[in-house]
Chain A
Amino acid sequence: MAALPVALPVLVAAILVGLAPVCPRRAADAATLATAAVVTLLCLALLVRSLDEPVVYWFGGWTPRDGIALGVAFAVDPVGAALATLAGVLATAALTFSWRIFEAVRTLHHGLMLVFLAGIVGFCLSGDLFSMFVFYELFSVAAYALAGYRTTDPGSVRGALNFAITNSVGAILLLGGIALLYGRTGALNLAQLGQSLATGPADRLVVVAFLLLMVGFFVKAAVVPFHFWLADAYALAPTVVGVLFAGVVSELGLYAVARVYWTVFSSPLAETDGLRGVMLLGAVTTALVGGVMCLLQHHLARMLAYATVSHVGLTLAGFALLGPAGAGGAVLYLVADGMIKGSLFISVGIIDHHLHDVDERRLAGRGRHLPWLAALMVAGALGLAGMPPFGTFLGKALMEEAAVETGLPWLIGLFVVVAALTSAALLRATGRVFCGLGPRGGAGTAATRSPDEAAARHPHVHATQVVPAVGLLAGAVAVGLAPGLADEVQDAAGRFTDRPAYAAAVLRGAGDLARAGAHPPLHLGGPALLATLSALLGLGLALAALLPERLPPRLRGGVARAWGPVAATLRGLHNGSIGDSVTWLVVGMSTFGGLLVLVVR
């Protein structure tokens, strides 16, 4: 029953918070974990049901009359259900990880986590624009509260404020877009909005409404230049929250833009080269800035934050191709990438908990007694690079093929380079932390502790911390290896991008959708070579950073001269200031707005 994945966690959250003074800690932990697991299973069931036809659930029984939606609906298709399931999986993994980690005000924290999960699930399943906004604000507010929770640290207060203020401005813009659309069409249901706009021109109101909605969701997705809040939020969030941030929250912004575009705007704002160009501009900028910033980080959580930004750029590139093939690849990539990043965040959490630090320079060599953790992180880095058998490989293959078909083969180069950048940063960090490599490691600080002493000083790593990390990686592999998944994904993407079919299903309950024929089999040889190239490039970059003395001096000097100013400029821009973030937001809005006006006229 479609309402349960949202109703259940909020009910449990309310009960837990009410009983907080008297509830034993383990009971609260167990209840929260169980609820997250149940939500995951419910979303999975919805996913399976929606493979045949969309599951449309009208709250309060208010079915539409004459094509006018009176109530609010959940319109569940495989894409939305897949994201909701991903959120559930990540939440379950994160809560399992935190089973052994004690924090104060724990029950309140659990209540917030459940509300956070409920918001995400509701957002993914919703078929009503204002309802999407309410659930968006629900998980956002829960996120602000969860991120601000550890502000005993002076610098983290500004990070929390930046996070909350920038995202709130994004929400304001979203509401502006909703008001504009409502003023024109008198509707809030996505399908009805699409039907209403389909008959009209792409005039000024439609363009500005799309701009506002796009910018509002891009803030959450951390597309450049709306991304300045992300690194601070990741750095100060506890691991439990960071897993969900890294795994699904940013991707939700992209999902929302894609969903709103293909249900509301795809008739007036057709899939033209101009529109494609604007979105790709955002995608490429995001991917490159994220990738370079990722390399510049030494704080492991910030590194993952910028890895998220750059992969958001890649996913947006897939959606920006404005076709079912690209969208399908983007969704698959997003799901697998989310699980890999979740696993990496848990690994960082294990490092934090046991070595009490997350700066790779200070951690140099201290991870020697945890070789299995190094293996996990290397696996994660390879997954980020898009190596088979991870699902990211399959997703990228689909996107690369779509890029070639759309006549944009240079996008493949972008994928290779950016994947190399992010995996390089992680491989470099792994090398430094676990092997002591790197300019200040080796025989220096780390050798003062003998291995036995090091192991004795640190608490035993429990299974509850390791299993989620391994499990998430296994999930990413399962997504990559599942037979027939590529076909299912392409079918689902075909329905995702088909506005009239969606409208018919939601407003008239017409569930019979023409099933596309069997898709041509993917040629995986080329993408496999490209992925290997990415991984090798990443490894090369990592080694070059760790062992600069092995490089020829002229090369080293040249790179330093070129890299220095770039690094300094980027670091200066990303200074964590609230005023700067909001300024860049407005700059981004004007820029995208101007470009949209140019391409739509």
Chain B
Amino acid sequence: MSHLPYVVAAWLLLVGLYGVVTSRNLVHAIICLSVAQSSTYILLLSVGFERGGTAPIFLDVPVGTKAVDPVVGALALTDIVVGATVSALLLALAVQAYKHHGSLDPERLGREQD
């Protein structure tokens, strides 16, 4: 069970991708992409976890207390911002799709002929 968080991360990725692939609604697909993205947050934060460690903020505790890895915290922060902004952009595209087609179904979005 010591690798459970990693298994959760792999599951989230695959389930999210399944949602993207089989989706019939663009907003649903975009949210599934966010789910897939959250697998990376879990993976990053699990990799840096130290059992029994406190937060790496040394205001009330002295330096040298066992603390978790601060670097993965910074990486996850970057990751979350990136994920949120890409979702925003995708949702704007979904709004455009609805305006032009009256539908959010990815199957119904046509393509200019080759």
Taking the complex as a whole, does A directly touch B, i.e. does some CB pair lie under 8 Å apart?
A: yes
Q: Give A residues with C-beta under 8 Å from B.
A: 130, 134, 137, 141, 144-145, 148, 151, 153-161, 164-165, 168-169, 171-172, 175-176, 178-180, 182-183, 188, 232, 235, 296-299, 302, 571, 575-579, 582-583, 586
A299, B114: Cα distance in complex, Å = 6
Is B111 a contact partner of A159 (Cβ separation < 8 A)?
yes
CB of B110 within 8 A of CB of A141, answer no
User: Could you give 24 example pairs across A and B, Cβ below 8 Å?
Assistant: A130-B78, A134-B78, A137-B82, A137-B86, A141-B89, A148-B92, A151-B96, A153-B112, A154-B110, A158-B109, A161-B90, A161-B109, A165-B30, A165-B33, A165-B90, A168-B86, A168-B90, A169-B33, A175-B79, A176-B43, A179-B40, A180-B43, A182-B44, A302-B114
Residues in chain A near residue B75, CB distance under 8 A: 130, 178, 182
* Least CB separation from A147: chain B residue: B93
Any A CB within 8 A of the CB of B101: yes
Contact residues in B for A576 (Cβ distance below 8 Å):
111
CB of B9, distance to nearest CB on chain A (Å): 8
Q: Which of B36, B93, B107, B110 contacts A161 (CB 8 A)?
A: B93
**Choice from A155, A235, A296, A582 contacting B110 with Cβ under 8 Å:** A155
- Tell me which residues across on chain B come within 8 A of A586, comparing CB atoms: 17, 21
Determine the distance from Cα of A151 to Cα of B109 in the docked complex, in whole angstroms.
13
Query: Cβ of B97 < 8 Å from any Cβ of A?
Result: yes
- A148-B89, A172-B13, A182-B47 known; A161-B106 Cβ under 8 A: yes
Give the most central of B9, B48, B111: most A CB within 10 Å.
Answer: B111
Complexed CA–CA distance, A178 and B29 (Å): 25
- Not counting A157-B100, A175-B79, a sample of 4 additional A-B residue pairs whose C-beta atoms are within 8 angstroms of each other reads A148-B92, A151-B96, A157-B93, A158-B111
Q: How far is the CA of A161 from the CA of B108 in the complex (A)?
A: 13
B residues in contact with A175, CB < 8 Å:
40, 43-44, 79
Does B85 interact with chain A (Cβ within 8 Å)?
yes
| Contact of A158 with B114 at beta-carbon distance under 8 Å, contacts A172-B36, A172-B37, A586-B17 already known | no
- Tell me, yes or no, whether B15 is within 8 Å of chain A by CB: no
Q: How far is the CA of A130 from the CA of B72 in the complex (A)?
A: 11
Given contacts A148-B89, A161-B26, A182-B47, contact A169 B36 (CB under 8 A): yes
Separation of A183 and B109 alpha carbons in the complex (Å): 42
The residue that A155 contacts in the complex, of B26, B29, B33, B111, with Cβ under 8 A, is B111
* Residue in B20, B43, B44 whose beta carbon sits within 8 Å of that of A578 in the complex: B20
Against A, the Cβ 8 Å flags (1 = close, 0 = not) of B70-104 are 01100100110010011001101110110011000
Min distance, Cβ B38 to any Cβ of chain A, angstroms: 10
The answer to whether B106 touches A579 (Cβ under 8 A) is yes
| Chain A residue with Cβ nearest B92 | A148
- CB–CB B112/A156 < 8 A: yes
Determine the residue in chain A with the shortest Cβ distance to B45.
A179
Give bound CA distance, A263 to B37, whole Å.
27
**Residues of A contacting B: mostly:** helix
| Chain B residue at minimum C-beta to C-beta distance from A580 | B21
CA A586 – CA B17 in complex, angstroms? 9
B5-50 residues at the A interface, CB under 8 angstroms: 9, 13, 17, 20-23, 26, 29-30, 33, 36-37, 39-40, 43-44, 47-48
Contacts of B17 in A (CB 8 A): 169, 582, 586
In the bound complex, CA of A164 to CA of B106 (Å): 14
List A contacts of B22 (CB < 8 A): 579
Known contacts A172-B37, A179-B47, A182-B72; decide if A235 and B112 are in contact (CB<8 Å). Answer: yes
B90 touches A164 (CB 8 A): yes
Q: How far is the CA of A528 from the CA of B85 in the complex (A)?
A: 50
Task: Report how far A130 CA is from B73 CA in the complex, Å.
Answer: 13
Question: How far is B26's CA from A577's CA once the two chains are assembled, in angstroms?
Answer: 12
Return the contact of B106 from the options A134, A154, A183, A577 (Cβ within 8 A). Answer: A577
Minimum Cβ distance to chain B for residue A417 (Å): 23
Given A161-B26, A169-B36: A583 in contact with B86 (beta carbons within 8 A): no
Q: A583 touching B21 by the CB < 8 A rule?
A: yes
Contact present for A176 and B40 (CB under 8 Å): yes
Q: For A232, list chain B residues within 8 Å (CB).
A: 111
Measured CA separation A578–B23 after assembly (Å):
10
Q: Which residue of B lies closest to A188 (CB)?
A: B71
- Pair B114/A297 contact, Cβ less than 8 Å: yes
With a cutoff of 8 Å between Cβ atoms, the chain B residues found around residue A153 in the complex are 112
In this complex, the member of A144, A154, A175, A582 whose beta carbon has the largest number of chain B beta carbons within 10 angstroms is A175
Cα(A576)–Cα(B85), bound, Å: 24
Question: What are the residues of chain B within 8 A of A575 when measuring CB–CB?
Answer: 111
Which of A161, A188, A297 has the most chain B CB atoms closer than 10 A to its own CB?
A161
Report which of B20, B44, B111 forms a contact with A165, defined as CB distance below 8 A: B20
Which residues of B are found within 8 Å of A297, using beta-carbon distances?
A: 114
Given A134-B78, A158-B106, A158-B109: A579 and B97 interface contact (C-beta under 8 Å): no
Given A144-B86, A165-B33, A183-B47, CB of A172 within 8 Å of CB of B40: yes
Question: Are the CB atoms of B20 and A579 closer together than 8 Å?
Answer: yes
CA distance A155 to B26 in the complex (A): 15
A579 to B47, CA, bound (A): 31
Query: What is the chain A residue whose CB lies nearest that of B75?
Result: A130
Cβ–Cβ < 8 Å partners of B94 in chain A: 161
- Bound-state CA distance A359–B85 (Å) is 35
Contacts of A583 on B, CB cut-off 8 Å?
21
B100 CB contacts on chain A under 8 angstroms: 151, 154, 157
Give the residues in chain B near A171, CB-CB below 8 Å. Answer: 82
Contacts of B39 in A (CB 8 A): 172, 176
